[in-house]
Structure 1
Amino acid sequence: MAKLTLDRLRKVYPNGFVGVDDASFEIHDGELLVLVGPSGCGKSTLLRMIAGLEAISSGELRIGDRVVNEVAPKDRDIAMVFQSYALYPHMSVAENLGFGLKLRGAGKAEVAARVREAAAMLELEPLLDRKPAALSGGQRQRVALGRALVRQPQVFLLDEPLSNLDAKLRASTRVEISRLHRQLGTTMVYVTHDQVEAMTLGQRIVVLKDGRIQQIDTPMALYNQPANLFVATFLGSPKMNLLWGEVVERESTDLALRISDGVELPLHPEGALREQVRGYIGQKLTVGLRPEDLHLAEAGPGTLSAHVEAVEPVGNEAFLDLGCDGCELIVRLPPHDLPKVGDTVHLGHVPARMHYFDPASERRLDGLGAAVPAAYDGTAAQAPVARDA
């Protein structure tokens, strides 16, 4: 096992495109860290730089205490699981599992022992004599994982390994990977574009956009204290509701967000955050509310009137798609006594769960003075503090 240290890693392609820009963070020994972001954000490029499959333009990468910028992939003591299974079709499962060890000169007895151990761990023992063509997608993915396991490397790198599986298999294989990590205690770096995979698997998550790190934190800390609008809307399904308007002060010194003429949302920031929001009086502000932090209420002061555009029951819960003075809202509700499409409903909210963002910089207001950084660059001054949710 080993820790990984990335110090201002940068990848610039010959045409000048910056794939990864100043990535700096540490992956702890034995940690399962997830790199997540939309397509083209640089997450797979960063993983391939760790693997040695992409040259590092500048910065320093250490595995343990060894700088590996110029070390060949085969000498970095890492194992990688790719999006495609990349199994040899003419070899049996057992031969696929042990092939990498054979190339490294391991003896027959050692190869056989490690293959048996990996097969038992992944419940592949009944399949050892089969060829890949006779396996299901989930079984092939387990063989790909097993081929990495038999290497017993210091670091596992997984590049969107579940994207070719159906929804049911993805869920069961996520559990399998999480169980394996607990059992092995090996450092793992997992790349995905799926925020559900990121939230359920990662002990910490690195959120990327356009090659830059936006925030690094535990899953629930990212969900509850997103550093900027991108993180706020990327993590969470359905995504966070956003309301735009001008901050106004009422005669009672209460604050409200004026969405349109006659439509105001009461704001209830407390302490230092209240003073920060007061600085936006007469100016635009963006306010976020998660779907579960809105609820149906009786008409009255402090409620929003909205038009039901769609009702989506999904079994144990339901989602209402609403229109509210030009804003699109989603509300998460119990699946009972739901309104109908075309109805007008009134919404209350949970004041303590409101999120405030500067509309120009898109940074979160946190009551500490300046808005939190829009992008975390790995420096100590910007390092986010992990919070338990």
Structure 2
Amino acid sequence: MASVQLDRVRKVYDNGQVAVHGASFEIADGELMVLVGPSGCGKSTLLRMIAGLEDITDGNLLIGGRRVNDVQPKDRDIAMVFQSYALYPHMTVAENLAFGLKLRGVARAEIDRRVNAAADTLGMTHMLGKLPREMSGGQRQRVALGRALVREPSVFLLDEPLSNLDAKLRHSVRTEIGRLHRQLGATMIYVTHDQVEAMTLGQRIVVLKDGEIQQIDTPMALYEKPANLFVAGFLGSPAMNVLHGTLKQDEGLHFALDSGGQIPLGTAVVAEAWVGRRIALGIRPEHLHPAGIGKTAFEAHVDLIEPVGNEVFVNLRFVGQSLVARMPPQVLPEPGQGLRVTIENAVLHGFDPDSGLRLS
């Protein structure tokens, strides 16, 4: 396997559009790095530049310490798995796995060894004689993974490989990819717009917006200390609640909303430097609770209740502000009724309301 290093890599198209602004980071040998962001953020463009499918306008790209800006894709020792399975419909699984190796002139015995090894790793030995039309979407995606696996590359590149699968299959194949990475110790770069995939798969995550890197860190570090409002809102389901107003300390700590009304914070943890200034206050949904007797609370109105099994998402409204709370299953008021809510003992997040940057 090999490390991948990007040094101020930029992509500017002929019409002047800047798709990637000076990306600099390193993927360690054997690491699974996820590139995540909304559509049009530059994540797939970045992956395609690593693959050699897009030219690099400026900067340097190194794979295994070798500069590969001008190296052809076939000579970069990478294998790519696309969103589309792109299997040959008239070929069996074994023939699909072997086809790329045949084109490269690999010996028959070596092709058989690699195909059988990949099939064994992915649990597909019993499917080698099947045609794609005889297989489910999840099985076809495993064949696409196997086609990359037989290459035995230094780096695996995966471009939204689960987008065409339903929710159950996405979970199954996502687990398969995580297991495969642990088993192989392979260097993998995985692109997705799905923050759940990013959080569950990535050892580290690169969050992108409009072609610029917003933050690079481990999943839980991004969740607990987002660098700005974009990262705070993008990672987490449901998203972080963000309220604009002023923190005040008179008669107990509370937050005076720009829209009117006050939210008592009780024993919630905030930095002293935030008090007395206007900020954007971030509250994770799991830190909003139904208030017991004697708790510092505010009265919100229930808009919608979304039961999702072992928890309930409660959509609330308070003086024109929308809030989402994540609560355990319990008896709750009907939509349109009031609910006393508390933010006791929560660690809250402060952001500059103008720049959006996290406050220390």
Specify if TM > 0.5.
Answer: yes
Q: Is the 8 A contact 2:265 2:344 kept in 1?
A: no
Give the letter aligned to residue 82 of structure 1: F
* Residues 184-240 of structure 1: per-residue CA shift (max 9 Å, x gap): 001000000000000000000000000000000000110110000000010010111
Question: What SS does structure 1 have at the residue aligned with 2:207?
Answer: strand
Q: CA deviation at 1:247?
A: 2.9
After superposing on structure 2, the runs of 4+ consecutive aligned residues of structure 1 that deviate more than 6 Å are: 267-271
Q: Is the 8 A contact 1:268 1:352 kept in 2?
A: yes
Q: Pick one of 290, 294, 298 that aligns with 1:296.
A: 290
Give 5+ residue unaligned stretches, structure 1. Answer: 367-389
1:27 and 1:159 map into 2 onto residues whose CA distance is: 16
- 1:311 corresponds to which residue? 305
Q: Is the 8 A contact 1:56 1:69 kept in 2?
A: yes
Deviates more, 1:312-321 or 1:39-48: 312-321
Give 5+ residue unaligned stretches, structure 2. Answer: none
2:308 and 2:260 map into 1 onto residues whose CA distance is: 35
Pair 295,352 (structure 1): closer, same or farther in 2 beyond 3 Å: closer
1:309 and 1:289 map into 2 onto residues whose CA distance is: 18
Deviates more, 1:12-21 or 1:309-318: 309-318
* Residues 31-56 of structure 1: per-residue CA shift (max 9 Å, x gap): 00000000100000000000000000
1:308 and 1:270 map into 2 onto residues whose CA distance is: 26
- 2:45 corresponds to which residue? 45
Give the letter aligned to residue 81 of structure 2: V
1:287 and 1:359 map into 2 onto residues whose CA distance is: 9
Q: CA deviation at 1:334?
A: 1.1
- 1:105 corresponds to which residue? 105
Q: CA deviation at 1:261?
A: 4.5
- 1:357 corresponds to which residue? 351
The normalised TM-score by structure 2 is 0.96
Query: What's the % identity of the aligned pairs?
Result: 63
The normalised TM-score by structure 1 is 0.89
* Residues 239-294 of structure 1: per-residue CA shift (max 9 Å, x gap): 111111123341x6x543211555243376869x312x13xx2x421111111111
Q: Pick one of 316, 334, 337 that aligns with 1:322.
A: 316
- 1:80 corresponds to which residue? 80
Q: CA deviation at 1:136?
A: 1.1
2:123 and 2:158 map into 1 onto residues whose CA distance is: 20
Q: Pick one of 310, 334, 340 that aligns with 2:334.
A: 340
Q: Is the 8 A contact 1:264 1:302 kept in 2?
A: no
2:263 and 2:293 map into 1 onto residues whose CA distance is: 13
Pair 6,268 (structure 1): closer, same or farther in 2 beyond 3 Å: farther
Pair 165,93 (structure 1): closer, same or farther in 2 beyond 3 Å: same
2:291 and 2:268 map into 1 onto residues whose CA distance is: 21
Give the letter aligned to residue 45 of structure 2: T
Q: Is the 8 A contact 1:10 1:20 kept in 2?
A: yes
2:265 and 2:142 map into 1 onto residues whose CA distance is: 52
Q: Is the 8 A contact 1:4 1:27 kept in 2?
A: yes
* Residues 122-179 of structure 1: per-residue CA shift (max 9 Å, x gap): 1111211122122111111010000000000000000000000111110011110000
CA RMSD of aligned residues (A): 1.6
Deviates more, 1:173-182 or 1:298-307: 298-307
Deviates more, 1:258-267 or 1:160-169: 258-267
Pair 56,261 (structure 1): closer, same or farther in 2 beyond 3 Å: closer
Q: How many residues align?
A: 359
Give the letter aligned to residue 266 of structure 1: L
Give the letter aligned to residue 131 of structure 1: L
1:132 and 1:297 map into 2 onto residues whose CA distance is: 55
Q: CA deviation at 1:313?
A: 1.1
1:131 and 1:361 map into 2 onto residues whose CA distance is: 54
